Amino acid sequence: MEAAAAEPIRVQSLAQAGLTQVPPQYIQPPQYRPNQPSSSTNIPIIDLFGPDPTRRDSVRASIGQACRDWGAFHVTNHGVPAALLDAIKRAGLTFFNDSSVEDKLNYACDPSSSASEGYGSRMLEKDDTVLDWRDYFDHHTLPLARRDHTRWPDFPADYRRVVSEYSDRIASLARELLGLVSESLGLETRRMEEAVGEFWQNITISYYPPCPQPELTLGLQSHSDFGAITLLVQDEVGGLEVLKDGDWVPVKPLGGDAIVVLLADQTEIITNGKYRSAVHRALTNSHQPRLSVATFHDPAKTVKVSPASELISESTPALYREVVYGDYVSSWYTKGPEGKRNIDALLLEP
């Protein structure tokens, strides 16, 4: 949500003011600062081949391995045109770089509503939380009844069309990926999708301005996404990192049609921990802005999520208690990630 304030503070405005030090509310506690060497490895890259049905067995095996080992991977040759990925990044950059603050504030988030749609800079309800060095625009895109073009910018001229087309194409890819995740566990193709239900999709375009003290800040603090599956495209600047075996691994931008796939908490619950959600964060830098487009695919707030019965047995009991998705989301927005995985609160006692 956009926290209530008399005058909204936007990170881009702070950066443009020429600050040499970041304000105190953006300084991370020492244990969360990006001051440790990052790993030189990279997340897996999986070619979906079209998708080509004759390659499905090998693709399914690769996805299963990536889900077990990482919870994150790149996909290429997935059917979403690279030109469309470029178009949505270009639309976002135009909004942030070529619009006045006054024009942007016409689309400001509702300060009285959690996770409201629009232009904002902070999402948590806690007043004492450390702030991310980031501005964003959040779009409510699915189900179609949530899609209100009048709440989105009309500049550039194709902004609304591009976001709508991107929403539809990326949702189809998310369904395809959940099908492959299901099959990799020996489940029916639609099992994961059925457990999630109709997608509630949000598209968040994040803009990370240059930061005078990147060693003290984070563009996005460490967390795992709370929905089912997140698909993300980033520009060539880089800054996304995934936590792997205690080390932060940079997700190097690949360009072309590459899309980053991040498993989220509800998928970990449904798979009974066989696949873990990806803990990730975004770094800042002092010399150039960065932009990313994250598309979240979540259950409806009323959906009850629990481990798939097919994955439960006497030898492999349920690891997580059932949760109503809306309650899980409310907890996240109230407590915040604080570098932790909120899903761990659902673990059952052994």
Mean pLDDT on 215-219:
97
- Distance in angstroms (rounded) separating the CA atoms of residues 317 and 185: 16
Residues 6+ apart with CB under 8 A from 21: 212, 213
Residues 6+ apart with CB under 8 A from 345: 331
User: Which tens digit of pLDDT belongs to each residue from 85-107?
Assistant: 999 999 999 999 999 989 999 99
| Residue whose token pair is 């189900």 | 143
Q: What is the mean pLDDT of the chain?
A: 92
- CATH superfamily for domain 19-346: B-lactam Antibiotic, Isopenicillin N Synthase; Chain (2.60.120.330)
Backbone dihedral region for residue 240 (phi beyond 0: left; psi -120 to 50: alpha; all else: beta): beta
| Residue whose token pair is 């349920």 | 318
| Residue whose token pair is 């405005």 | 13
Helix (H, G, I), strand (E, B) or coil at 295: strand
Helix (H, G, I), strand (E, B) or coil at 303: coil
pLDDT over 60 at 3, yes or no: no
**What pLDDT, on a 0 to 100 scale, did the predictor assign at position 127?**
58
Closest CA to 283 of 314, 243, 321, 317: 243
User: Which tens digit of pLDDT belongs to each residue from 262-301?
Assistant: 999 999 999 999 999 999 999 999 999 999 999 999 999 9
C-beta pairs of 47-52 under 8 Å, 24+ apart in sequence: 47/75, 47/76, 47/77, 48/75, 48/76, 48/77, 48/78, 48/79, 48/176, 49/77, 50/77, 50/79, 51/77, 51/78, 51/79, 51/176
Beta bridge partners of 140: 202
- Residue type present at position 111: P
With residue 165 as reference, give the H or E element that holds it: helix 159-184
* Residue spans of beta strands (DSSP E) within 36-84: 45-47, 72-76
User: Which tens digit of pLDDT belongs to each residue from 31-65?
Assistant: 999 977 667 789 999 999 887 889 999 999 999 99
pTM (two decimals) = 0.95
pLDDT over 60 at 80, yes or no: yes
Extents of the domains making up the chain: 19-346
pLDDT over 60 at 258, yes or no: yes
Mean pLDDT on 139-148:
98
Mean pLDDT on 174-184:
98
pLDDT class of 131 with cuts at 50, 70, 90: very high
- Distance in angstroms (rounded) separating the CA atoms of residues 234 and 293: 6
Q: What percent of the chain has pLDDT over 70?
A: 92
Tell me which DSSP letter residue 28 carries.
P
pLDDT over 90 at 139, yes or no: yes
